[in-house]
């Protein structure tokens, strides 16, 4: 039994609905942030950009004050009634449809909402402080249901004439929103989720963990989709500042069966590496456990740890993560003489759920999961 509920949303005024939402803050360069702020006074970046302030606590206060200013100027509107929202995001041939609602942090604490990724305590504490001071969930966490949501949401039968909002953002992504505010419709959806035993975190592990730290009795903003709506991609690894390629290759040849290829092979089950302007396919040792037998785990424990002396991928400055939605061949072209790239495979959503069901976690940066929800579109104040 999973508890979801309607909530009073904070959303852009209809006049500014296409101007406020932004991509994830970390996906912008500093120059892109400055350019967007200068040309668009309504951008959510104006609220969350506070690097000019020294103290972290003052940055959070600044953000809260900016939220209040946007509300006062009616750029952001707080709804009076509690609603649920169907949200569809489309880009080119791909679309995602799901439900935006509030989920119970007690369900998360009781493992009814299951993680598959370890969180970092330092980041948890920092974001908990952010929540305490800003009192805002700026975007939903992405949650997957191991089943079908057509009982409450049928993407093929959504009535366009009943849309609350439909617009494109600058990057060409279409956003469509249907508000559900009738009590009986809301109750039917709430009852539907009461019959579900568990849900799975697809993206947003730190936000959920931080929300629990901040107040376990609160709800958290979530976007729930069927597992078939989730697009899982890998994070590839680029290793920087390599001193001795010949020694690296010699060590790998001594431990593994390696084949030199002309090009990157599609759908290979083995590790592929671009090093010294050549492609290598490496057959790593099979492992017993599901997590340890993931290609990303085998790379870490069989190559990066013992051969590159990389103990912690997240903290090592010589490890760069390449999201799976970026053009890997473009990255190869830009690969410098003292760098190499390890190409990861996709971990399917069913495997992620199986790992979560076993109360296990993947190595950090194992999955890059779509859709990415915009900040500053459908928000929830605490």
For 267-287, how does the pLDDT look when each residue is reduced to its tens digit (9 = 90+)? 889 999 999 999 999 999 999
Claim to verify: residue 179 and residue 198 sit in the same structural domain: yes
Residue indicated by tokens 């492992």: 287
To the nearest 10°, report the CA torsion of 67, 72, 76, 77: 130
The dihedral built from the CA positions of residue 170, 176, 180 and 185, taken in this order, carries a sign that is negative
Has residue 339 been placed in a domain? yes
Claim to verify: residue 274 and residue 222 sit in the same structural domain: no
At 196, which CATH number?
3.90.1530.10
* Degrees to nearest 5, angle at CA 371 with 368 and 377: 130
Has residue 109 been placed in a domain? yes
Claim to verify: residue 177 and residue 242 sit in the same structural domain: no
Run of H or E including 258: strand 257-261
C-alpha radius of gyration, the chain, whole number: 22
Compute the average pLDDT of residues 337-344. 95
Please give the mean pLDDT across all residues of the chain: 93
Claim to verify: residue 213 and residue 243 sit in the same structural domain: no
Q: What percent of the chain has pLDDT over 70?
A: 100
Q: What is the pLDDT of residue 156?
A: 76
The pLDDT confidence band at residue 161, using thresholds 50, 70 and 90, is: confident
* Degrees to nearest 5, angle at CA 169 with 163 and 171: 140
Claim to verify: residue 227 and residue 324 sit in the same structural domain: no
Distance, CA of 366 to CA of 343 (rounded, Å): 12
Distance, CA of 106 to CA of 146 (rounded, Å): 20
Claim to verify: residue 223 and residue 120 sit in the same structural domain: yes
pTM of this structure: 0.92
Distance, CA of 207 to CA of 199 (rounded, Å): 16
Cα distances (Å, whole numbers) of residue 108 to 3, 185, 211, 216, 380:
10, 25, 10, 9, 18
Claim to verify: residue 100 and residue 113 sit in the same structural domain: yes
Cis peptide before 371 (omega within 30 of 0): yes
* Residues forming a β-bridge with 323: 235
Claim to verify: residue 174 and residue 298 sit in the same structural domain: no
To the nearest 10°, report the CA torsion of 49, 53, 57, 61: -60
Claim to verify: residue 110 and residue 206 sit in the same structural domain: yes
Q: What is the bridge-based pairing of β-strands 76-78 and 9-12?
A: antiparallel
Q: What is the domain count for the chain? A: 2
Claim to verify: residue 195 and residue 332 sit in the same structural domain: no
Claim to verify: residue 239 and residue 375 sit in the same structural domain: no
Has residue 356 been placed in a domain? no
Q: What is the pLDDT of residue 331?
A: 94
Q: Give the ranges where 135-229 is alpha helix by DSSP (H).
A: 183-194, 205-214
Note the pLDDT tens digit of each residue in 93-141: 899 999 999 999 999 999 999 999 988 888 899 999 999 999 999 999 9
Q: Which two tokens stand for residue 257?
A: 């069966």
Comparing CA positions, the residue from 118, 136, 131, 123 lying closest to residue 215 is 131
Between 154 and 307, whose confidence is greater?
307
Helices H / strands E in the chain, number of each: 11, 21
Contact 114, 357 (CB under 8 A): yes
Q: Which residue range(s) make up the domain with 241?
A: 235-345
Claim to verify: residue 216 and residue 241 sit in the same structural domain: no
The neighbour count for residue 379, using CB atoms within 10 Å, is: 23
Q: Which residues are CB-contacts of 162 (< 8 A; sequence separation ≥ 6)?
A: 178
């Amino acid at each position: 039994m999973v508890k979801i509920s309607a909530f009073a949303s904070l959303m852009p005024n209809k006049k500014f609905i296409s101007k406020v939402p932004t991509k994830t803050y970390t996906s912008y360069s500093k120059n892109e942030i400055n350019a967007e702020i200068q040309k668009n006074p309504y951008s959510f970046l104006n609220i969350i950009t506070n690097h000019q302030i020294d103290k972290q606590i003052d940055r959070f206060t600044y953000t809260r004050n900016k939220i209040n200013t946007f509300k006062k100027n009616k750029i952001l509107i707080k709804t009076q009634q509690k609603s649920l929202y169907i949200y569809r995001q489309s880009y080119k041939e791909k679309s995602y449809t799901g439900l935006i609602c509030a989920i119970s942090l007690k369900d998360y604490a009781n493992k009814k909402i299951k993680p598959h990724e370890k969180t970092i305590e330092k980041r948890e504490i920092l974001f908990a402080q952010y929540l305490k001071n800003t009192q805002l969930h700026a975007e939903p966490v992405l949650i997957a249901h191991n089943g079908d949501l057509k009982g409450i949401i049928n993407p093929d039968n959504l009535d366009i004439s009943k849309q609350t909002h439909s617009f494109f953002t600058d990057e060409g992504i279409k956003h469509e929103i249907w508000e559900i505010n009738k009590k009986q419709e809301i109750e039917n959806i709430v009852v539907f989720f009461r019959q579900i035993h568990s849900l799975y975190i697809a993206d947003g592990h730190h936000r959920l963990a931080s929300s629990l730290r901040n107040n376990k009795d609160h709800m958290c903003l979530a976007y729930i989709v069927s597992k078939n709506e989730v697009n899982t991609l890998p994070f590839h690894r680029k290793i920087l500042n390599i001193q001795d390629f010949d020694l690296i290759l010699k060590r790998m040849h001594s431990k593994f069966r390696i084949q030199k290829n002309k090009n990157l092979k599609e759908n290979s089950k083995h590790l592929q590496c671009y090093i010294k302007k050549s492609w290598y396919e490496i057959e790593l040792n099979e492992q017993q456990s599901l997590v340890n037998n993931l290609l990303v785990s085998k790379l870490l424990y069989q190559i990066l740890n013992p051969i590159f002396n990389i103990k912690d991928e997240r903290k090592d400055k010589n490890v760069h993560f390449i999201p799976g939605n970026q053009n890997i061949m473009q990255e190869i072209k830009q690969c410098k003489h003292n760098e190499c790239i390890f190409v990861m495979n996709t971990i399917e959503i069913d495997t992620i759920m199986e790992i979560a069901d076993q109360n296990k976690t993947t190595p950090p940066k194992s999955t890059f999961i779509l859709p990415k929800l915009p900040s500053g579109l459908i928000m929830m104040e605490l």
